[in-house]
Amino acid sequence: MIISGPAGSGKTTLAHRLALLIGCPALCRDEIKEGMIAANSGFVSGPSDSLSLRTYNLFFAAIRLFLEHGVTHIAEAAFQHQNWARGLESLRPLAELRIVRCQVASALAKARVARRGHEQSSRAAHDDSHHISGERFDQIRLGAPTLDVDTTNGYRPELGAVARFVRSP
């Protein structure tokens, strides 16, 4: 399953909640990058920085590894359509994709990004400024079953319905 959406749209929180509910791992691109930052002191984040590019490749290699070993999992990232399409192209035959696209108003996304930047020092690893919800974010669209989830206040549709969508044949 893929969870996508702009920065501050609630992707990571939803990914971890669904993973617990379904009983599978959540593979979160930002968490991978944060682990890489921990091993590279003094790193400064920026658009298309060297670790972002390495993280992209590692993220899709991990997805491949999970799929090749029959591991149901949730892959979550703030990639726009072109980056998801490029990364998933060779993996499509290995998976039954379900796509969940998180959506929230731009003002709330900005507030969430600012809040977590203050609360989580690890967020300095990410340059979220150009991934905030709004007109410029090109949502993933791959011809797979897709569900849009409003994360403004909880989940619409509710979490159980999202889990049923993910589990559906």
Domain containing 141 equals 2-167
CA dist 113 and 37 (Å) reads 19
In what side-by-side order are the strands of the sheet with 26-28? 26-28, 74-77, 2-4, 99-103, 146-150
Structure pTM?
Answer: 0.87
Write the CA distances from 89 to 82, 144, 161, integer angstroms.
10, 13, 28
pLDDT level of residue 100 (50, 70, 90 thresholds) = very high
Instruction: Write the CATH number for 122.
Output: 3.40.50.300
Statement: residue 96 has pLDDT above 50: yes
Q: Which H helix or E strand runs over 57?
A: helix 50-68
CA dist 7 and 162 (Å) reads 20
Mean pLDDT value of segment 122-138 = 57
Name the domain count of the chain. Answer: 1
